[in-house]
Amino acid sequence: MPQLQLPMFPNGVTQITDLLAFKKEGGKIVYLNGHMPIFAHNEKDLQSFRMITSYFYDSGFVKQSDLIRTFGVTPISVKRSVKKFREKGIPGFYAERRVRGAAILVADVVAKAEELLTEDAKISDVARQINVSPDTLRKAIKSGRVRVKKNGPPTSRSHPRKA
């Protein structure tokens, strides 16, 4: 007589594959192989979710379609997570994001640009003198990070009135 093969899943679990399931209990997601828990994370911990599902996929425990069907994620998100797992491993999911700062328009460059800029100065000439792109300088002026000095007394109107 044939014997029943593991895994046998407890009540209240959602099967991912024939060998793997998960359940939500007390704000945690617990992944199971039969009755044996193999990993758990907070239900709002997206990095751990991406890491463990990428591990399952990379190890051959699940297919991409299993993850898409079970968790309702997009194919591209699975591919991106698996790529990150293969390139950077587990630490790649928990590393701080690298962000680029304002490396070009630092305080002394802004001061020099404001010194050179007047109403009649050409932005392209000033940009060339401070070694930045004219577009970068225009955007900085438009956003107010770089101020243009005005020549002469302030006027109340930009255009004279036509009679």
Answer for the pair 15, 60: CB distance below 8 angstroms, yes or no: no
Other C-beta atoms closer than 10 Å to the C-beta of 103 total 6
CA distance 39 to 89: 17
SS3 26: coil
62, amino acid identity? V
Task: Give the pLDDT mean for 63-82.
Answer: 96
The packing angle between helices 46-59 and 75-88, to 10°, is 80
Answer for the pair 19, 3: CB distance below 8 angstroms, yes or no: no
User: How many domains, in total, are found in the chain?
Assistant: 2
pLDDT for 106-131, tens place per residue? Answer: 888 888 888 888 767 889 999 999 99
The domain in which residue 125 lies consists of: 107-143
CA distance 77 to 49: 12
Nearest CA among 109, 90, 19, 99 for reference residue 52: 90
How high is the pLDDT of residue 10? Answer: 67
SS3 149: strand
Q: Is residue 38 part of a domain?
A: yes
Q: Is residue 130 part of a domain?
A: yes
Q: Is residue 28 part of a domain?
A: yes
Q: Is residue 148 part of a domain?
A: no
Q: Is residue 86 part of a domain?
A: yes
How high is the pLDDT of residue 105? Answer: 81
How high is the pLDDT of residue 76? Answer: 96
How high is the pLDDT of residue 99? Answer: 76
**The domain that contains 137 carries what CATH number?**
1.10.10
Asked whether residue 52 falls in the same domain as residue 76, the answer is yes
Other C-beta atoms closer than 10 Å to the C-beta of 46 total 12
- Edge-to-edge strand order for the sheet containing 28-33? 14-15, 21-25, 28-33, 36-42
Asked whether residue 85 falls in the same domain as residue 115, the answer is no
How high is the pLDDT of residue 84? Answer: 97
Task: Give the pLDDT mean for 41-66.
Answer: 96
